[in-house]
Amino acid sequence: MTARLLIVGPQGSGKGTQGVRIAETFGVLPVSTGDVFRAAVSAGTPLGEQVKAIIEAGDLVPDELTSAVVRDRLAQPDAADGFLLDGYPRNIAQVAHLEEFLEGRGESLDAVIELDVPRDESIARLSRRAAEQGRSDDTEEGIANRLAIYERETAPILDVYRTRGIVDRIDGVGSLDEITQRIIAALEARGLDRPAAA
């Protein structure tokens, strides 16, 4: 059985870590926008060259190009059995691009995992990460700015998916394992099965 999933949450919600765990559990391909960009750039594809020039100029990759790079990745054979998207779509325009692509293949998302983490918890986690990893972009001002962008641009995509009844809101506070178990339980309640152990 295939599963087409999307994980959404503010910075510091742990969605990158949980995304990989859930993709592994359900036997689908984890597709993180950052990884896809890096792969396209290192492969030197025409799309990758465009992305590289934009990133090197310090600009954000526009929606059309982001969608083209993700579409290209999802069209590859290893994504045929399903995927878990992390970091895309990040706004309403990208939702429309994804829908158009999936509809063209007679597919749709099976579930959207919303990691619900209070703002102060996200800030505390990111501040801890900054101290541990010496990340210069994780200043208090930088963190607040990224969370504001998430709230303004990304959070509204959840309303689109809520109207379809495919959003599972998961409490994102707790141990890694507790949160993973909550997500698995929600997806299994939707009838998504884990692949049988080989």
Q: Determine which one of 38, 52, 71, 90 is catalytic.
A: 90
**Residue 15 annotated in active site:** yes
**Residue 135 annotated in active site:** yes
Q: Determine which one of 105, 128, 135, 169 is catalytic.
A: 135
Spatial contact of 11 and 147, defined as CB atoms under 8 Å apart: yes
**Residue 146 annotated in active site:** yes
Residues 120, 108: Cα–Cα separation, whole Å: 34
| Cα of 182 vs its chain's centroid, Å | 18
**Distances in Å between the alpha carbon of 173 and those of 12, 18, 196?**
11, 12, 29
What per-residue string of b and e applies to 32-44 under the rule 16 or more CB within 10 Å gives b? bbeebbeebbeee
Q: Determine which one of 52, 71, 119, 146 is catalytic.
A: 146
What per-residue string of b and e applies to 89-99 under the rule 16 or more CB within 10 Å gives b? bbbebbbebbe
**Residue 73 annotated in active site:** no
- Residues forming the active site: 15, 90, 129, 135, 146
